């Protein structure tokens, strides 16, 4: 697994690390039961503070994508399979939107609007 960050991005480093793990799960590069690299190893490889990586892992735990186990580290949950399935659905949606001439920004705005509406109605 290769964790990627962009030091020039406005996004916080912990969010970039979490997004990289999420993307690997969606692409099927990490699977349920896989152990993520130790936070110290990722921190050393990226040149960031270990607490930054731990923050990312805690966010992923809160999302249900990883379990943090004492002595075993971060282990990927079944949620990775769900992300992989959604990845295929999203790919199909993007292809349909492009065929209809819808810009990426417009599609993203539409998805955010629908998700926000659904969040409000399920509370």
pLDDT value, residue 114: 92
> Per residue of the chain (123 residues), what is the pLDDT tens digit?
789 999 999 999 999 999 999 999 999 999 999 999 999 999 999 999 999 999 999 999 999 999 998 888 999 999 999 999 999 899 999 999 999 999 999 999 999 999 898 888 877
Closest CA to 55 of 5, 8, 15: 15
pLDDT value, residue 68: 95
Q: The pTM is what?
A: 0.80
């Amino acid at each position: 697994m290769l964790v990627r960050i962009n030091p020039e991005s406005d996004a916080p480093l912990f969010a970039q690390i979490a997004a990289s793990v999420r993307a690997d799960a969606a692409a099927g590069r990490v699977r349920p039961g896989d152990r993520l690299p130790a936070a110290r190893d990722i921190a050393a490889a990226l040149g960031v503070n270990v607490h930054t990586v731990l923050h990312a892992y805690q966010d992923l735990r809160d999302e249900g994508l990883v379990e943090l186990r004492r002595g075993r580290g971060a282990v990927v949950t079944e949620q990775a399979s769900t992300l992989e399935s959604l990845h295929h659905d999203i790919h199909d949606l993007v292809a349909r939107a492009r065929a209809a001439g819808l810009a990426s920004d417009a599609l993203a705005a539409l998805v955010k609007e629908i998700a926000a509406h659904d969040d409000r109605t399920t509370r």
